[in-house]
Structure 1
Amino acid sequence: MAKVGITETVLRDAHQSLIATRMTTEEMLPILSTMDKVGYHSVECWGGATFDACLRFLNEDPWDRLRILRREMPHTKLQMLFRGQNMLGYRHYADDVLEYFVQKSVANGIDIIRIFDALNDIRNLETAVKAAKKEGAHAQIAISYTLGEVFTEQYYIDYAKRIEEAGADSICIKDMAALLTPYETE
């Protein structure tokens, strides 16, 4: 049986959800060396809204943040959330732009790229998976979990098979609305 690893998301999702992604790099610095010693499988610290918030609200260079996080957590895999063909933005981007962004993300310290599409459209993930693997990153595809008549157990099984066929190194369930209860997983 595969070993279960823990991905800590406090440096991305926690403050994205609680304080609109306004935690500065300076505010992160005091805890980073301690986090590096914990033994997490990975720390999700970049991507999602962090890139935009650094530029738009914090007057920070998101690439500098990534390099600082890499320097301060040398023993921990760094992970980012990547919106498939939307990358870290709010529209689709051309394949060559996506490929270059992935290349630079890995070169600046990202080890694992968690790739998802909010509509679970595999076509919006394929270029990102190929780019991540080309750069030597771990390509993790996230299934966006939701409820509704079409979202049956078979729907998720079929989608997981398509993810595997797309070349994912691993699969995770992204339950962004906290809908997946222990009873749902039985």
Structure 2
Amino acid sequence: MADEQIQAHAGAPSTPPVLWPQALVGAGVLLVGAGLAFGAIGISSQAGYGGVGPNFMPWLVSVVLMLCGAWMLWEVRTGGFRQLDEAPGAAHGHWAAFVWVSAGLLVNAALITTIGFILGCTLCYVLAVQGLRRAAGQSGVSQPRTWGIDILTGALISAPVFWMFTQFLAINLPGLTNTGWL
């Protein structure tokens, strides 16, 4: 009896992964893409001077999301996400990183009209990068030098974007001053 159990256990694969959460994520991504496509139906398709209408980007994003959702469901059907166990925090997610990134997005949305696009996006970048650094287990995330580099990088990314939109494309973004440069 014991030999039969050992032989049965030796040939048996390890515990199969629980795939329904992965299937829910894939279905959710597919539904978000379908919802975005449904919303894009109501956007005018009249092309501007560039030959691309205002509905191009929503359609592009919806198609890409639906492809990603379908791919995720295919992955689940063929055995699940294969390297999920190797990622840090993969078993339960990295909630602290989620909080940092979410805080960056929410703070940006709440303050962009008060502190302007450049400072709001810089703050969003800094908080999101801090969360991602912590999730990756990087050392020195709380050192002033790391914060300084993140602030500088965020400003170097957001300032040219702001200037491109306000100065060259004449699109109004919230600024800290009325000059169009900050």
Question: Of the two, which has the highest radius of gyration?
Answer: 2
Please indicate, yes or no, whether the TM-score normalized by the shorter chain is above 0.5.
no
- What is the TM-score normalised by the length of structure 2? 0.23
Q: Of Structure 1 and Structure 2, which has the larger fraction of its residues in helix?
A: 2
- What is the TM-score normalised by the length of structure 1? 0.22
Q: Of Structure 1 and Structure 2, which has the larger fraction of its residues in strand?
A: 1
